[in-house]
Chains A and B, each alone.
Chain A
Amino acid sequence: MVYDILLPSLPFIIGYLGTYLLYRGGYIKKSMHINIWNLILGLIFLISGGGGFILLILLELGTLLPINIHLLYWHVELGLTLVLITIFHFHTYWKTSKKMFTINNGG
């Protein structure tokens, strides 16, 4: 079993660059660009993270279901995409992300 790494990531890289360039070019609002990717992040998290969480519960309970293997496959594939979109999320909120790691910023 070989998991695809580049194939599921490619549409998201192109998509992010696309909406980013549209926002920079003034074709769409910044809030639109941010919210599109927040929604995608939420959906991918729901499937990948939620799927992983269900898988973990099933493992803890020792329950075998026919769906387990499909859940594992999509958990891995969308998990890789989640990593990528998390990087985009950090890019979007770079200023606040940087503040998070500083010790004294008056907070």
Chain B
Amino acid sequence: MMRDRLIKALATIPIVTAFSMSGSCAAGCPYGLVNDPYPGHCPRYIDINGDGLCDLSQATTATTDTSTSSSDDDTVATDSIDDSTNGRGHDVDVVDDPQNASSISDTGDIDGNLSDDGGGYYLLPISLLLISGYLFTHYLFSKGILSPKKHRRLWNLFVTAGYLGTGVTGVILTFMVNMGVKTALNPSITFWHAEFAILMVIGTLIHIHLYWKPFKNIFKVLFGFKTFKGEFKRNNNME
């Protein structure tokens, strides 16, 4: 009886955690930032109210303001949050140009809806698609239908596309964050950066599998490591 209760109580923990997690993250900063100043840490920066702080990072401020509205002391509430932000040890910059920040807020409405979501990058479907694609071409290659050269070339093209897409979009995003450029394209670039990155990561793992021998060679040449097979043969005087 006691055991059943304990199991039931423990079983509710992940459900409660999941609900509280989704509730706290629905409209907040996906990176957990509080009062992120202009130009922001990431391309999701949005400032509709024009206070020079990212609105997504102010989710806490909104709730605090409403709770303290009865005491008519909003300034104190905001200041206390600012202090807590500094206390976290992040690089929180002071807004140098509030006018600039407010001008950015004008474009905020355009991509506000898109930049608000924290997910939707199809991580699992794309990963599964790529892995199944590789298994399929590997099967064709092992059966002799696809030549080893073509097999390698096909996946080299995929990994190149992944690196090229991720690199180009990543550099664009970094420049945009550095210069505080906010366009309607930002969420799309972030989306494609993530999509290409999935291709890059899975593609790199496939690339390592395809070039397993040269990969092992890195450790052999640089650190003098022997392969396990070679070590086994040497230890057992099989060479």
Show the binding face of A for B, using Cβ within 8 Å.
1-3, 5, 31-32, 35-36, 38-39, 42, 45, 49-50, 52-53, 56-66, 68-69, 72-73, 76, 79-80, 82-83, 86, 97, 99-100, 107
- The total of Cβ contacts below 8 Å across the A-B interface reads 117
Q: Does B144 contact A (CB under 8 A)?
A: no
| B153 on the A face (CB < 8 A) | yes
Complex A-B: 27 CB contacts under 8 Å? A1-B91, A31-B221, A32-B221, A36-B222, A38-B214, A38-B218, A50-B201, A53-B198, A56-B121, A56-B194, A59-B30, A60-B121, A61-B21, A62-B25, A64-B32, A65-B32, A68-B30, A68-B31, A69-B33, A72-B42, A73-B41, A76-B170, A79-B174, A82-B167, A83-B171, A100-B156, A100-B157
Interface residues on B, range: 35 or more
Please give the distance in Å from A8's CB to the nearest CB on chain B: 11
CB-defined contacts of A38 to chain B, threshold 8 Å: 214-215, 218
Let me know if B204 is at the binding interface, CB within 8 A: yes
Known: A3-B174, A5-B174, A107-B149. A35 touches B222 (CB 8 A): yes
Residues of A within 8 Å of B153, CB to CB, are: 99-100, 107
Rounded to whole angstroms, the CA-CA distance of A97 and B197 in the bound complex is: 20
CA distance A18 to B171 in the complex (A): 25
B121 touches A59 (CB 8 A): yes
State which of B21, B24, B200 has its C-beta within 8 Å of the C-beta of A49: B200
Majority DSSP secondary structure for residues of A touching B:
helix
| Contact of A35 with B167 at beta-carbon distance under 8 Å, contacts A5-B174, A63-B25, A107-B150 already known | no
CA gap between A50 and B202 in the complex, in Å? 11
B93 within 8 A of A: yes
Contact B123 A60 (CB under 8 A): yes
> Min CB distance, A60 to chain B, in Å?
4
A86 and B167 in contact, given A65-B32, A68-B31, A69-B41 (Cβ under 8 angstroms): yes
Residues of B participating in the A interface, judged by any CB pair closer than 8 Å: 21-22, 24-26, 28-33, 36-37, 39-42, 88, 90-91, 93, 118-119, 121, 123, 147, 149-150, 153, 156-157, 160, 163, 166-167, 170-171, 174, 177-178, 194, 197-198, 200-201, 204, 214-215, 217-218, 221-222
- B90: chain A residues at CB < 8 Å are 69
| Residue with the highest number of chain B CB atoms closer than 10 Å, among A49, A62, A99 | A62
Query: How near does chain B come to A72, taking the closest CB pair, in angstroms?
Result: 6
